[in-house]
Structure 1
Amino acid sequence: MNPRDRIRLLGAGLIGLGGTRMAQAQTQGPVAAQQISSEPWKVAMQISDSLEQAYEGLINIQNVLELDPKMRFIVVGYGKAIHFLLNGAKTPQGALFSGMIGDLANQGVQFKACNNTLTFLKIPQSELVLEATVVPAGVYELVKLQSEGWYYIKP
């Protein structure tokens, strides 16, 4: 058998394997989510870029908690996005962030606001939503959480 025939035969075999897998996948239907671990995973989320990022991050948390309600989250807000933690802040769709934050806090999600950012932007702590606690520095808090075994994500 010449090399070209070998390549054609190999290609035909690989295509056949792919088609079989595709046919199996199509007949199996949707895969149900399974609990990730017997111990809850701990996730620290950085929100520092924008209100859009904050909204996306909170939606991500809602989705994950539907799959694994035991998962624990700490959201650390600082920089340009700190405003999502303020009373009256609205999502890009016009809803109040405080409603989303309250719902997530009721599921165990913690919210931390960076004191450095609040000071720099001259925002009094009294403007924060009730669920937010103040930490000295957002970046420091994220590093500390990672050193304590928390996974880090940024939407």
Structure 2
Amino acid sequence: MSVSLFRSLKGAALAASLAVAPLAALAETHHIAVQVNDNDPQRMNLALNNVNNLIAAYQEMGDEVEVQIVAYGPGLHMLRADTSPVAQRVATMALEHPNVTFQACNNTINAMQRQSGAEVTLLPEAHIVPAGVVHLVQLQEQGWSYIRP
């Protein structure tokens, strides 16, 4: 191979890689916090529908999305093993979308346990955070977008 041909190929390869680099840079990860604080199956389903729609829309754009659904107050029933009206949807969503996590407020868990005198059991997909409201504020301070369906 002649030196001039090698230089031409090397230049073409460099130009091609520089042309593709901006496309990779365009893909981004969106961070979304979803609040659930109502013991209302319609609200819970709306929150899950919103998350599914967000994931589909961002995937269509070639972007990633990370979602934290934060349940507190009466909304904790979404993540309770004994009272969740959306337990199957939570399990399915957690399996299908590992970038979606479910946060349960420990303050609410403690209050419900004091009130009922019984231990609150959560769905296996739930992760406990110290305080749901504080967790939402911290996520927003870190630049996460906030949705309350």
TM-score by length of 1: 0.67
Structure 1 residue 82, shift from structure 2 partner: 0.7
Structure 2 unaligned blocks of 5 or more: 1-25
Aligned residues: 113
Q: Give the structure 2 partner of residue 124 of structure 1.
A: 119
1:88, 1:98 within 8 Å by CA — same for their partners in 2?
no
Q: How does 1:140-155 map to 2 (within 5 A)?
A: 140-155=134-149
User: What's the C-alpha RMSD, in Å, of the aligned pairs?
Assistant: 1.6
Q: Give the structure 1 partner of residue 127 of structure 2.
A: 133
Q: Give me the whole-angstrom Cα distance separating, in 2, the residues matched to 1:68 and 1:138.
A: 26
Structure 1 unaligned blocks of 5 or more: 1-36, 92-96
Q: 1:140 to 1:72 in 2, by over 3 A?
A: same
| 1:102 partnered with 2:97 | no
DSSP 3-state at the match of 1:121: helix
Offset from partner CA, 1:79-124 (integer Å, 9 cap, x none): 1111110114353xxxxx2221122222020000001111111163
| One-letter amino acid of the counterpart of residue 118, structure 1 | I
| 1:77 partnered with 2:68 | no
Q: Give the structure 2 partner of residue 44 of structure 1.
A: 33
Moved over 6 A (4+): none
DSSP 3-state at the match of 2:75: helix
TM-score by length of 2: 0.69
